[in-house]
Amino acid sequence: MSTPEDLVKLDNFQNIFSLGGKIAVITGGSRGLGLHTASGFLQAGCARVYIIARSEEPLHGAAKALNALPNKGPDALAIVIVADISSQEGCMKMAVEISKTTGHVDILVANAGATFIGDMDAYKEDDFDRVMKMNVSSIFFSVQKLSRLLQAGGTIQDPSRIIMVSSVAGVVVGDMGEHGTYAYAASKAAVIHLMKNLAVELGPKHIAVNVVAPGIVPSQMSAPLMDRHGGLESVAKQVPDQKLGSPEDVAGVMVFLSSRASKHINGATIVLDGGSYLVRGCA
């Protein structure tokens, strides 16, 4: 029978959120949520963070800023990979480039995304397909092409992690009419169900798969939405906790889901929106 002395012992608890020595890959890593995540990972101890995007110049600017962080490890490094992962071929290119410099990956954050806004009658087939390819297909094929490296990094006590970025738009109904985001909303709901399937498929291979579904975090992508709803202060008042998401909120939940603190979490969706989905706030 366990004694109180036994029950208060927690294994290396002071470092439970550390990502010391981990290797991470972040798609859509040159700006917004991806860049917040990369910063958090490096400051939490990651040894290498690969940031992926199709535009080279923003990537190099992001890597320069990340590598100048004063409180990352002295040898920690942000590494640029230029790849268009909207196709299976692009995902393969990404995986090949990463495998040139590492034999395993501990964390994949599937963050790359696209949107289209317009009246239902204004949508063309290409508009819908482009969003679904970038927001859903690219995640599946990124996982497919990186699965060998992810399996090489995971153990039963410390699985590798896949974090898929969905949205509160995949949980509740957002704007309609001329501001409709039909493809985006459908794609983000699809991400959540894809995650559930992959969590079951990859769990036995020591890979945990979860979703983060953010609400509004001020960014280039969210700026038009905030403008339509009266600006930052007006939108914040619609959220139960009276504020919008911050870079620290994003980085914090990503570090949590990548750390030992979440090693038994698999198949979960964390809605990061201050409770706005409960009152059908902006999606």
Active site residues: 184
The closest alpha carbon to 213, from 243, 193, 236, 242, belongs to 193
Q: Are the CB atoms for 245 and 188 separated by under 8 Å?
A: no
Strands 48-53 and 77-82: parallel
Q: Are the CB atoms for 160 and 186 separated by under 8 Å?
A: no
Longest dimension (CA), the chain: 68
Helices 138-153 & 88-99 angle (0-180, nearest 10): 20
The closest alpha carbon to 23, from 190, 150, 183, belongs to 150
The 3-state DSSP composition of the chain as helix, strand, coil percent (nearest 5) reads 50, 15, 40
Query: How far is C-alpha 163 from the geometric centre of its chain's CA atoms?
Result: 5
The closest alpha carbon to 163, from 76, 53, 259, belongs to 259
Q: What angle do CA 102, 90, 56 make, to 5 degrees?
A: 80
Residue with tokens 């909207």: 86
Q: How far apart are CA 45 and CA 255, in angstroms?
A: 10
